[in-house]
Chain A
Amino acid sequence: MTDERTQPLLKFTGQKYLTHRLVLSTLTGRPIRISQIRSSSPTNPGLAPHEVSFLRLLESITNGSTIEFSYTGTTLVYRPGLITGSADGLGASGGVLRHELPAGCTRGISYFLIPLCLLAPFSKAQVNVIFHGPGVITSATPTGDVSVDTVRTAILPLFAQFSIERNIELRILKRSCAGPGGKGGGGEVQMVFGHQVRLPKTLHLMNPGRVKRIRGVAYAIGVAGANNARMIDTARGVLNKFVPDTYIFSDVSSAPFISTNDRSNPGAKKKIGIGFGLSLVAESSTGCLYSADVVCPPSGGVPPEEIGKQAAYQLLEIISKGGCVSSIAAPTMLTLMAMGSEDVGRLQMGRDVIGSEEMIELGRDLNAFGGSGWGLRDAGDESGDIVVSVVGRGVGNVGRKIA
């Protein structure tokens, strides 16, 4: 490839932030080499099932990207192609790409959805992916992924601030919690992202405002709907004092059936992914979103009251960190700002949000991919927040430029 001559491989180590590095590589067009992926683990070195699955997803929504593994899977070379989306003939049929997740997947579906949402605005055609198979966990997971409800209600609305707002849908076709041992699920989720742009708008978000309302979704999968009522009651008991406009919707669904993969009885099916959880979103008067997500552990043994209380306290904690974005949404926002036009965008963030390991690593990665550094200064008000200034790359959507 011509890229290889002009651009050397960017080198990274470790399996941390793998998805984000792959996304940045795809967006900037820089090939990367990631080494030492779980090289110290004697039992399962190399890429985990969800990481392999994400690479397959990247390959199917791009055209011309190549992925090379080492023998043990501890080293990976990725050369990005053009983001084509769910165009016909490239793995998609009828404009819909079906992506199956393996049963050993331990991460929630948001692990795939959030990076996909980052790629989708820069795609050539619309992105329409159905995630299915025995590895789709729509709920939050103990591994730290948020639920699909949080993605829909707390992360997707943020794209509207970059004027990416039309034809975006996240359909939850089948819900599922994490299966036994936190592995696998049986859910089904369709992501439609039909608004492609040349460049996202420059963002100036400096006023966090005050929280005016709290919404949420309580989900019970394969268990009694009374669990929802109990979670909602406790969470409201905590939150109603602060925000009277609090409402949590309840969603009760049956547990998904998946095949047991039993040789002797191929028709046999089992229920998987039973549990309940709560996703809360607080909206401020200026449109900033803060979200919290708590789910019962796959082993069970936690009463719904406890989940409701934890979720409410988690939301209060996240709001108390301040700023205009929570730590879940911050990578998405900052990456979109960095991919924007050659202009300075500003974003006010709480000290604890910007001061996390994840954000600092994101800043370093953006720098490595050729972005300019962030400018940080005190907001100057009593909140003690920090204003992050990000200069856009000004390249934007390559596919749109040609078309």
Chain B
Amino acid sequence: MAPTLGKRKRITRERLEQSSRSSSASRSASEQSDGEDIQNIFQRAFEAKFKPLGVEPKKRKIEEVVENEEDLEEESDWSGINSEEDNVEVVEYSNGRNTGEKASRTEMKAFMSSKPPTSQSQTRSLATKAKPAEDEDDATETTHLKNDLALQRLLRDSHLLSSTSTSGSNTPTLNATGAQRHKSTDLHLLSLGAKSSIHTQKNMPMSHRKGIAAKNKQREERRRAEARENGVILEKAIKVKRFTKERERGVGGPGVGKFRGGTLTLSKRDVADITGGGGEKGRSKGKKGRR
């Protein structure tokens, strides 16, 4: 190679490989016979096109090394371990034992407690073992189940889709997205027994709430009025319970009047009750005083 002056040129990968290949080739040429060299070239060419061949020559080398070591050992006095003893399955035995100890670590409490042991712990462990195996057997089963659930949800919430089909996605998918997903979750929660929808606003100014309530009431009244006019029979109106006259009194509180700010305030009616009627009216009714 010609010596280059100045900056060293960047060595490209191809060139590096070329040089190393050529050097290794030259070394092999010096060490091994020509026939082997040709075989190497063929092998390399083959490996470039196809998968690399099995690495048999390497293995042979290791074997040789082992043989050398054995030779060394034979030279020393120590006779070494018989190769036959290597085949004894001691390793398996200890393995099995270790797993046994691990498994029964959880079982120990159940067995050594004061209660008579039951065979439930065993069945439970079997069940946990069997589960993953089942999953492996039919992984499709779970996906089917999942798809079934999704389809059921879709069918349940299909009216949502129809109402928003103009604005939202036209093609209904198994998994709703965005606002639809929220609505569908809300419906699901309500069907499961949620007290109120997740969309209801919790805190708002009183005027707003009053306005909303009034609007709702008005809407309901109009609906009922229209139905009445058209002769449609609607469901019975649920009457909101008004504040009852006799309110529940606390245990420690006064039996009469209202205790506020450290003073017991009696209304006129209370006083009339106590005194047994204020004037002729009470007398005529024959109301008895509460004492």
Contact = CB atoms under 8 A, between A and B. Distances in A.
A, B in one complex: yes
Contacts of B117: 152-153, 157, 215
B268 interface: no
A247 B107 CA distance: 10
Contact of A160 (B104, B114, B118): B118
Nearest to B107: A247
Interface of B: 96, 100-101, 104, 107-108, 111-112, 114-119, 122
A283 B112 contact: no
A326 to B, nearest CB: 16
13 contacts: A152-B117, A153-B117, A160-B118, A168-B116, A170-B116, A172-B114, A190-B114, A244-B96, A245-B100, A247-B104, A249-B104, A249-B111, A249-B112
Interface of A: 152-153, 156-157, 159-160, 168-172, 190, 213, 215, 217, 244-247, 249, 251, 283, 287
A300 B116 CA distance: 30
Contacts of B108: 249
Given A213-B122, A244-B96, A156 B116 contact: yes
Contacts of A246: 100
Nearest to B122: A213
Q: Is the interface of A mostly helix, strand, loop or mixed?
A: strand
Contacts, number: 42
Contacts of A168: 115-116
Given A215-B111, A245-B100, A247-B100, A283 B119 contact: yes
Contacts of A157: 116-118
Contacts of A171: 114
B121 to A, nearest CB: 11
Q: When A and B form their complex, which 6 residue pairs have the shortest distance between CB atoms, in order from nearest?
A: A156-B116, A171-B114, A247-B104, A169-B114, A157-B116, A169-B115
A102 to B, nearest CB: 26
A152 B116 contact: yes
Given A244-B96, A245-B100, A247-B100, A287 B111 contact: no
Nearest to B116: A156
Taking each of B107, B116, B118, which has the highest tally of chain A beta carbons within 10 Å of its own beta carbon?
Answer: B116
Contacts of B114: 152, 169-172, 190
Contacts of A215: 111, 117
B119 A287 contact: yes
A198 to B, nearest CB: 22
